């Protein structure tokens, strides 16, 4: 009779924090949609609301737990989405404050904010589609 080794439970460190990834994507998606839907155009970074801040905190906390798994690039992707959207929002505000007095800055600033909002939605949707297929984001 063949002896089979007893099954061993996987260690907690080797499992990917998938639920944290879903939570982070959900928070970022809700923040982006609410920001765009609430005013038509986001006047602050699309994910720089309370939900976006909570989402980036979740990403930072769970990033070490995901190291070496296919989930790790997703946390990096969302963290970069947060900081780049904040940068573009600040650029929009600088244009508004400096060129707003001569009225040319207003449409430029609103254009920057609109493109930033669309870009955030694109990144959240692209990342989530790869996430649901259990695939890492290439190039991250």
Q: Is residue 60 over pLDDT 90?
A: yes
Over the chain, what is the mean pLDDT? 80
Do residues 32 and 124 lie in contact, with contact meaning Cβ atoms separated by under 8 Å? yes
Tell me which of 42 and 122 has the higher pLDDT.
122
Domain boundaries along the sequence of the chain: 17-86+118-132
Tell me which of 83 and 49 has the higher pLDDT.
83
Confidence (pTM): 0.78
Do residues 124 and 81 lie in contact, with contact meaning Cβ atoms separated by under 8 Å? yes
pLDDT tens-digit series, residues 84-104: 988 988 898 899 889 887 888
């Amino acid at each position: 009779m063949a002896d089979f080794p007893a099954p061993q439970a996987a260690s907690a460190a080797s499992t990917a924090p998938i639920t944290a990834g879903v939570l982070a994507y959900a928070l970022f998606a809700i923040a982006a949609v609410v920001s765009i839907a609430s005013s038509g155009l986001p006047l602050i970074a699309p994910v720089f609301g309370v939900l976006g801040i909570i989402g980036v905190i979740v990403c930072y906390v769970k990033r070490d737990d995901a190291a070496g798994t296919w989930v790790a690039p997703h946390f990096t992707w969302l963290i970069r989405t947060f900081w780049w959207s904040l940068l573009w929002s600040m650029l929009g505000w600088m244009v508004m404050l400096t060129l707003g007095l001569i009225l040319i800055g207003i449409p430029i600033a609103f254009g920057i904010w609109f493109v930033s909002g669309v870009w955030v939605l694109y990144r959240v949707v692209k990342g989530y589609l790869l996430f649901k297929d259990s695939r890492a984001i290439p190039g991250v």
